[in-house]
């Protein structure tokens, strides 16, 4: 999601990432083309270009202008779903590989930072996992034992933490987690890729991709990239209509950032086991005169199925003030989207249904920083023809019968969204749309997405999502049109900013 086109700014956005290549003005041939310059795309580009492959990265915004600039950047091997669930879905050996791969991802980030001398506020910190309110405390102990079986032998139960207490009843301490400034990291990574000969072209939209022995990518600007391999790292794939999108669901998550006095909250990662869960961390912020920023997130809901971002941020604030009484004024508020896979693990590898030289990285949940780094290591091995022990675990073609309940539930939810075709609009007349606001209106058999800009001028688009034709909904906090089915997002004027749709809302 591009900062220029949405309603909020994350704490990281001040540190913009400069483009490292001149504008793309001709067609090109390359070993590997990567679409998407978020953490998944650039970590893959870094590994491959440093191993001598010729690499071209295309992004239709700036570097890291998607979800990577909206993250909270916890770097953790305490998997979101919890090791109890991961072990149930993927077995004890699978859980070991999960712990191993996320630990390796944090180590890889640290190694790159040291090798490339990146100043990006990287710090090793502890992570503290608290129970959900009212939850039986045995669940925490079960989680500790499952983490232990997964190989995280240094996870311990702490009865009285020295820092904040999110919920009473003790917590688990996960040592050796980390945090960093994601945009400073991405800026350094982009420069390292350029030094290794990789080329990153920004503001270039990949319009169509055709698989085959040689993959062909046509850009909106009319240039053709021919490549031996293609990596689609667009957060949610733009080259797949169905298969992958039935295996993951898009959720919007909210974040607030408030000043706190320096050193009043120990620098650590904090989460609870609520559903949806809360997450918190501390960030040193140059603009805060010795103060720090407490970043708190949560209040997730299915994308496009609620428009109450302000209330959700207020609930986050109330939750946080109770647990962090030193909190001062709110300085930041933003939201973003995570792709929740049905079985808790990202989908990384060969794209089902395409030739074997087309790869995707998606389904990264709230662990997209480490999942993105895993994508960089795993896809590099696949392209280089090396065996990788994580390949089967993350294979996008995998079938998990044990997660069939979630699969059915999420896909029934998608099917229910088509009822929007026959419902009335949000309002009766466009005269009732205030300035800088959008609404869906019925126009005979059609539905229109109408935005009234700050000057009062109306912009009308079809409300039908170009992906699989659900009806989009207005997001008052981000000023975007969001699709309730698979999470496509469009700016106020209908320009696509998040897949799986790859074209704009059509003109009326
Ligand atoms: C609020 C929030 C908090 C989070 N907190 C954490 C956390 O604490 N820890 C963690 O590990 N993860 C977290 N995540 C998840 C993590 O931030 C994301 O999963 C990760 O950044 C996704 O990276 P990506 O490279 O897959 O996608 P993106 O960063 O979204 O990059 C995809 C890129 O593809 C480009 N693109 C799309 N379509 C096209 C096209 N057709 N042509 C050209 N370019 C295209 C986009 O412009 C974009 O730049 C959080 C996410 C959110 C929203
Ligand atoms: S994202 Fe699939 S129908 Fe809109």
pLDDT digits (tens, 9 = 90+) for 297-317: 999 999 999 999 999 999 999
Q: Which of 279, 319, 298 is nearest to 127 (CA)?
A: 279
Query: CA angle, 437 as apex, 434 and 439 as ends, to 5°?
Result: 95
In the structure encoding, which two tokens stand for residue 386, read together? 């090396």
Q: What is the 3-state secondary structure (H, E, C) of 136-175?
A: CCHHHHHHHHHHHHCCCCCCEEECCCCCCCCCCCCEEEEE
Least distant ligand from the CA of 466: 2
- For 203, counting Cβ atoms within 10 Å of its Cβ (0-12 exposed, 13-18 middle, 19+ buried), the class is middle
In the structure encoding, which two tokens stand for residue 383, read together? 């392209």
User: What distance in angstroms lies between residue 238's CA and the mean position of ligand 1's atoms?
Assistant: 14
pLDDT of residue 399: 82
CA distance 340 to 21: 33
By most ligand atoms within 8 Å of CB, the mutation choice from 66, 251, 487, 490 for ligand 1 is 66
Bridge pairing between strands 28-35 and 123-130? unpaired
User: What distance in angstroms lies between residue 10's CA and the mean position of ligand 1's atoms?
Assistant: 13
In the structure encoding, which two tokens stand for residue 325, read together? 């009484």
CA distance 112 to 247: 32
Residue nearest ligand 1's atom 2 by CA: 71
CA distance 382 to 391: 8
Interacting residues of 499 by C-beta distance below 8 A, sequence separation 6+: 234, 235, 236, 237, 238, 467, 488
The widest CA-to-CA distance across the chain, in whole angstroms, is 63
Q: DSSP letter at 455?
A: T
- List, edge to edge, every strand of the sheet that includes 496-498: 473-475, 480-482, 489-491, 496-498
Query: Which portions of the chain are predicted below pLDDT 50?
Result: 1-3
CA distance 246 to 353: 14
By most ligand atoms within 8 Å of CB, the mutation choice from 413, 418, 501 for ligand 2 is 501
Report the nearest atom of ligand 1 relative to the CA of 269.
Answer: 8
pLDDT of residue 329: 94
In order, the DSSP letters of 221-240 are TS-EEEEEEEEE-SSS-SS-
User: What distance in angstroms lies between residue 469's CA and the mean position of ligand 2's atoms?
Assistant: 6
Q: How far is CA 398 from the centre of its chain?
A: 21
User: What distance in angstroms lies between residue 37's CA and the mean position of ligand 1's atoms?
Assistant: 9
CA distance 213 to 30: 13
pLDDT of residue 3: 41
CA distance 24 to 20: 12
Query: CA angle, 43 as apex, 39 and 48 as ends, to 5°?
Result: 150
Residues with CB under 6 A from ligand 2: 465, 467-470, 483, 485-488, 500-501
Other beta carbons within 10 Å of 213 = 7
Provide the β-strand partners of residue 417.
none
Residue nearest ligand 2's atom 1 by CA: 486
Report the nearest atom of ligand 1 relative to the CA of 371.
Answer: 11
pLDDT of residue 1: 46
Least distant ligand from the CA of 496: 1
Query: CA angle, 457 as apex, 454 and 463 as ends, to 5°?
Result: 100
Q: What is the 3-state secondary structure (H, E, C) of 64-88?
A: CCCHHHHCCCEECCCCCCCHHHHHH
CA distance 108 to 452: 47
CA distance 356 to 212: 9
Other beta carbons within 10 Å of 275 = 7
In the structure encoding, which two tokens stand for residue 73, read together? 């950047």
User: What distance in angstroms lies between residue 179's CA and the mean position of ligand 1's atoms?
Assistant: 17
CA distance 103 to 373: 11
Provide the β-strand partners of residue 35.
58, 232
CA distance 162 to 155: 17
In the structure encoding, which two tokens stand for residue 348, read together? 């990384």
In order, the DSSP letters of 168-221 are SS-EEEEEEEEE--HHHHHHHHHHHHHHTT-EEE-S--EEEEE-SSSEEEEETT
- For 411, counting Cβ atoms within 10 Å of its Cβ (0-12 exposed, 13-18 middle, 19+ buried), the class is middle
CA distance 79 to 75: 10
Q: Which of 303, 317, 221, 334 is nearest to 485 (CA)?
A: 303
In the structure encoding, which two tokens stand for residue 433, read together? 């749309």
Residues with CB under 6 A from ligand 1: 35-41, 58-61, 65-68, 70-74, 205-206, 233-235, 238, 253, 255, 297, 336-338, 361, 364, 366-370, 372, 499, 502
Let me know: does 234 contact 36? Beta carbons within 8 Å: yes
pLDDT of residue 287: 63
User: What distance in angstroms lies between residue 339's CA and the mean position of ligand 2's atoms?
Assistant: 13
CA distance 144 to 477: 38
């Amino acid at each position: 999601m591009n900062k220029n086109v949405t309603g909020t700014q994350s704490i990281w956005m001040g540190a913009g990432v400069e483009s490292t290549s001149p504008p793309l003005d001709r067609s090109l041939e390359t070993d590997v083309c990567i679409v998407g310059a978020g953490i998944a795309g650039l970590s893959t580009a870094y590994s491959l270009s440093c191993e001598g492959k010729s690499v071209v990265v295309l992004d239709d915004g700036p570097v890291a202008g998607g979800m990577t600039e909206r993250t909270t950047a916890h770097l953790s091997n305490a998997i979101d779903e919890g090791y109890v669930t991961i072990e149930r879905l993927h077995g004890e050996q699978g859980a070991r590989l999960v712990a191993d791969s996320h630990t390796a991802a944090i180590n890889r980030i640290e190694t790159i930072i040291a090798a490339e001398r990146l100043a990006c506020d990287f710090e090793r910190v502890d992570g503290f996992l608290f129970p959900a309110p009212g939850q039986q405390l045995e669940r925490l102990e079960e989680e500790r034992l499952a983490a232990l079986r997964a190989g995280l032998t240094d996870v311990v139960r702490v009865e009285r933490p020295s820092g904040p207490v999110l919920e009473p009843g003790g917590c688990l301490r996960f040592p050796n987690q980390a945090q960093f400034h994601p945009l400073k990291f991405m800026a350094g990574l982009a420069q390292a890729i350029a030094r290794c000969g990789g080329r990153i072209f920004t503001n270039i939209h990949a319009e169509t991709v055709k698989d085959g022995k040689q993959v062909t990518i046509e850009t909106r600007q009319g240039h053709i990239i021919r490549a031996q391999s293609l990596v689609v790292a667009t957060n949610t794939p733009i080259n797949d209509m169905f298969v992958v999108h039935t295996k993951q669901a898009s959720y919007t998550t909210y974040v607030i950032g408030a000043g706190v006095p320096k050193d009043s909250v120990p620098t650590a990662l904090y989460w609870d086991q609520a559903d949806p869960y809360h997450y918190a961390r501390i960030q040193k912020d140059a603009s805060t005169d010795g103060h720090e920023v407490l970043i708190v997130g949560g209040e997730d809901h299915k994308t496009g199925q609620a428009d109450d971002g302000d209330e959700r941020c207020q609930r986050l604030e109330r939750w946080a003030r109770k647990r962090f009484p030193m909190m001062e004024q709110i300085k930041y508020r933003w939201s973003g989207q995570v792709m929740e896979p049905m079985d808790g693990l990202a989908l990384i590898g060969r794209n089902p249904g395409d030739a074997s030289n087309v790869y995707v990285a998606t389904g990264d949940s709230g662990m997209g920083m480490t999942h993105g780094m895993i994508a960089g290591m795993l896809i590099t091995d696949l392209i280089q023809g090396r065996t990788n022990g994580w390949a089967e675990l993350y294979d996008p073609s995998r079938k998990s019968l044990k997660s069939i309940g979630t699969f059915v539930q999420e896909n029934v939810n998608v099917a229910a969204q088509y009822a929007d075709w026959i419902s009335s609009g949000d309002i009766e007349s466009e005269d009732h749309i205030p300035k800088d606001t959008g609404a869906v209106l019925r126009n005979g058999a059609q539905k229109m997405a109408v935005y009234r800009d700050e000057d009062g001028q109306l912009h009308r688009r079809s409300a039908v999502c170009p992906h699989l034709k659900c009806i989009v909904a207005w997001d008052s906090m981000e000023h975007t049109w969001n699709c309730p089915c698979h999470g496509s997002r469009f700016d106020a004027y209908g320009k696509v900013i998040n897949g799986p749709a790859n074209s704009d809302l059509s003109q009326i």
